Amino acid sequence: MTNVTFSVPEDIHNVMQEHREIKWGEVARQAIKEKALRLKLMDKLLSKSELTEKDAEEIGNKIKHEIAKRHGLK
């Protein structure tokens, strides 16, 4: 297993210090594992896609616009 070192904001560190009963390394491992698995799945799905990055941006912008309209923000 590889070791990884990272920083957390002081306010988060304070909460971690208040809850020493929690195995924070395990919490971090699980969160990283979940994110990595989602990225792996996304990469697999996108490898078969014919959409360009520009196409994806246009679709994303249209979705954001429609959501904003639906919620009366536009």
pLDDT one-digit tens code per residue, 2-47: 999 999 999 999 999 999 999 999 999 999 999 999 999 999 988 8
| pTM metric for this prediction | 0.64
pLDDT for 74 beyond 80: no
Contact 65, 74 (CB under 8 A): yes
Cα–Cα distance measured from residue 36 to residue 30, given in angstroms and rounded to the nearest whole number: 10
The first and second tokens of residue 18, run together, are 């208040």
Residue 72: its pLDDT value, please? 86
Average pLDDT over residues 52-65: 93
